[in-house]
Structure 1
Amino acid sequence: MTKEKMLGALYGAAVGDALGAPTELRTTNQILETFGGYVKEYTLAPKDTFARDYPAGTITDDFSMSYYLMQAIIEHEGNFTEEIAQQAIINWGADDYYFDKFAGPTTRAAIENMKQGLPTDVDPFGLINYSGLATNGGAMKTIPLALLANGDLEKALEYTIWMCKPTHFNSNAISAAAAICCAATHALTESATLESIVAAAVWGAEKGREYGEQQQHISVGVDIAYKIQEAVKIGGQAASFEHLLSETADKVGTNFLVQESIPAVFSLLAGTEGNTMLGIYAAVNVGGDTDTIASMLGGILGGFNGSQSIPQKYIHDMEKVNTTLPLQSTIETFVALCSSR
């Protein structure tokens, strides 16, 4: 891993999150109607989105949770365990600026249980399976773990499981999170290609699902590994940017449930041929859970192409707006820590 690739992964995830916040929940056509065209700059969020009333360029739960994860790992001198993951999540839950506005239903419920000393690894309704908890809140915060894994997919899988256990302990959520983390881990290596990044994602998805099922934390849903491979075919066959967005939204899906949003990342990766900013723009405008899809894809492609693939203006403006978090110093410290391992 080079410093430029590590910075690219983290800033790609942050910029994607901030760019995608205003377009969340809408379809592509609604995005075009609301904003007068495709969104490619930081934009104020409409009143009917989660980011309403916050400045343009604000990060959401996606990268603010990654920030607290990095801080926890820094405080523990590069070590990471399930307990450290849980503490990072609790610390994020105490940040009213980001938690109150952006917390997803699965993470919010888990944090409330943690605060009360209640278990987080049981279905809240006492049902046999965990299908309602197969959301992408585990996957969206795995990019820092990719740096920590230092090219080792087995470690990326292990870290992902620890990250998911406090909030997203079910077969599909772990499968999806492992797909993103393993893809991002491999993207940081010098030998990575788009094909090998997808292969790493498929491997992670298979292993993550296997682990969840072995632990009897099963969520009913389609095979994420299979859907990633099908999504790559769909995105790779798109005839234009507009066609890529419509094919991904209509045939892959962009919902916050993992069987849609995680495969969507790889449809857009294939359709934009691995270009960092074109991939982020596609994710921002594809509709649905745009901030999370853009953050995950930005983390993978930023790591693949390096920080030079992200215009400095996006990074500067995003850091300037999110004044409650020392993003630049934390990112630089975390990169230095991962470089020394």
Structure 2
Amino acid sequence: MTRENRALGAFYGLALGDALGMPTQSLSREQVQKSFGAITTLEDAGADQPIAPNMPAGSITDDTEQAILVGQLLVEGQGGIEPTVLAQRLIEWEAVMRAKGSQDLLGPSTKRAIDMILAGHTPEESGRYGTTNGAAMRITPVGIAADVSDTARFIQAVIQACQVTHNTSLGVSSAAAVAAVVSAGINGVDLGEALNIGTQVAQQAESHGHWIAGGRISTRISWARTLSVGSGDKTLFADLLYELIGTSVASQESVVVSFALAQQVASGDLDAFEALCLAASLGGDTDTIAAILGAMLGACLGMQCWPEALIKQVKQVNGLDLQPLVHGLLTLR
């Protein structure tokens, strides 16, 4: 596999996971089971979908759109992101979504940070309450553009991309964990070792940003990777993730669940697409969990781990061509 194959696998894996989780996002596990049973392919959103009502199967959400936004800023800035420019682009993105009548708007941490920026606060201060998964969901381009082999420089690249909205120990470390797995995968590291690197980088990144009380990301990832039902029962394992770790927008839940599912793939208990479908079936913040998982798996396993027909569908439904952006990000690397 080439670096381009792995990078495309990461970005299209993010988009595929996002689209699989689109119709189930913000639904309880019971609601998902009642409406869909289990997600096994791309599905239309129902009229009662709270965020994306009646969206056609294969539609992406804010996860992919904001990752593209960050990627474009990286390429435009030759590897750098000006925090105030990121804030302005996010404001513009939300305005476009509102104009379309979408309920897919800025998350709670990002919204609060943008309001602080507009009120005159510095980027260092604006992200001081950001503990949710918004930074982690859009960090994949940093993993493609920056090499985790230089850890200190890599963490600074992560901070630059998430400081304005998630400048906390939890926000920075969760984003660093995801980006590190993506970056390690693009370097040719296998999935199990990439997850180790992600855990280690998360631990090193915890000293950055404003300290926030909460379970440490690296410790929770290490623990979650040991979880297994031992019986091969996917439903039982999904129940365990939903009830024990949780699937909310909190980074200590959704990002950690993504790592637990990735470990199941590394251990051979699930294949990559099965893991994405399981993520989309969990309930809670399914689109983000599946998007983060898809990025990590795709970086390590390449484009060939995703069903070609479903990738084609996601491209067509959204008018998506990520190859030029991925090429630009790899040029930065």
TM-score of the pair, normalised by structure 1: 0.87
Question: Could you say what secondary structure the match of 1:165 adopts?
Answer: helix
With over 3 angstroms needed to count, the CA separation of the structure-2 counterparts of 1:155 and 1:334, relative to structure 1, is: farther
More deviation, 45-54/134-143: 45-54
Give how far 1:111 is off.
2.5
| Contact 2:191–2:297 (Cα < 8 Å) also in 1 | no
With over 3 angstroms needed to count, the CA separation of the structure-2 counterparts of 1:334 and 1:112, relative to structure 1, is: same
- 1:211-222 matches, within 5 Å, as 211-212=208-209, 217-222=210-215
Give how far 1:204 is off.
2.1
1:172 correspondence with 2:170: yes
Give how far 1:339 is off.
3.3
| Contact 1:134–1:172 (Cα < 8 Å) also in 2 | yes
Give how far 1:163 is off.
1.4
**Unaligned 5+ runs, structure 1:** none
1:317 correspondence with 2:313: yes
With over 3 angstroms needed to count, the CA separation of the structure-2 counterparts of 1:99 and 1:266, relative to structure 1, is: same
- 1:8-47 matches, within 5 Å, as 8-35=9-36, 37-46=37-46, 47=48
Select 2:136's aligned residue among 135, 139, 158.
139
**Aligned match of 2:202:** 205
| Structure 2 CA distance for aligned equivalents of residues 239 and 54 of structure 1 | 33
**Unaligned 5+ runs, structure 2:** none
**Aligned match of 1:183:** 181
| Contact 1:93–1:99 (Cα < 8 Å) also in 2 | no
**Aligned match of 1:257:** 250
With over 3 angstroms needed to count, the CA separation of the structure-2 counterparts of 1:44 and 1:246, relative to structure 1, is: same
| Structure 1 CA distance for aligned equivalents of residues 60 and 325 of structure 2 | 18
Return the letter of the residue paired with 1:111: I
| Contact 2:52–2:103 (Cα < 8 Å) also in 1 | no
| Contact 1:235–1:268 (Cα < 8 Å) also in 2 | no
- 1:1-341 matches, within 5 Å, as 2-35=3-36, 37-46=37-46, 47-82=48-83, 85-96=86-97, 97=100, 101-119=104-122, 121-122=124-125, 130=129, 133-152=130-149, 153-190=151-188, 192-212=189-209, 217-235=210-228, 237=230, 239-273=232-266, 275-323=271-319, 327-328=320-321, 331-341=322-332
| Contact 1:61–1:98 (Cα < 8 Å) also in 2 | no
| Structure 2 CA distance for aligned equivalents of residues 293 and 306 of structure 1 | 19
| Contact 1:9–1:306 (Cα < 8 Å) also in 2 | yes
Give how far 1:19 is off.
0.9
Give how far 1:8 is off.
0.2
| Contact 1:157–1:181 (Cα < 8 Å) also in 2 | no
With over 3 angstroms needed to count, the CA separation of the structure-2 counterparts of 1:147 and 1:156, relative to structure 1, is: same
Same amino acid, percent of matched pairs: 28
With over 3 angstroms needed to count, the CA separation of the structure-2 counterparts of 1:172 and 1:19, relative to structure 1, is: same
More deviation, 21-30/159-168: 21-30
- Which whole-Å deviations, capped at 9, do the CAs of 1:135-165 have from their partners, x for residues lacking one? 1101110111101013434343212111111
| Structure 2 CA distance for aligned equivalents of residues 203 and 91 of structure 1 | 35
Return the letter of the residue paired with 1:179: A
Superposition RMSD in Å: 2.4
TM-score of the pair, normalised by structure 2: 0.88
| Structure 1 CA distance for aligned equivalents of residues 18 and 90 of structure 2 | 18
| Structure 1 CA distance for aligned equivalents of residues 212 and 110 of structure 2 | 16
With over 3 angstroms needed to count, the CA separation of the structure-2 counterparts of 1:110 and 1:254, relative to structure 1, is: same
With over 3 angstroms needed to count, the CA separation of the structure-2 counterparts of 1:60 and 1:250, relative to structure 1, is: same
| Structure 1 CA distance for aligned equivalents of residues 190 and 205 of structure 2 | 22
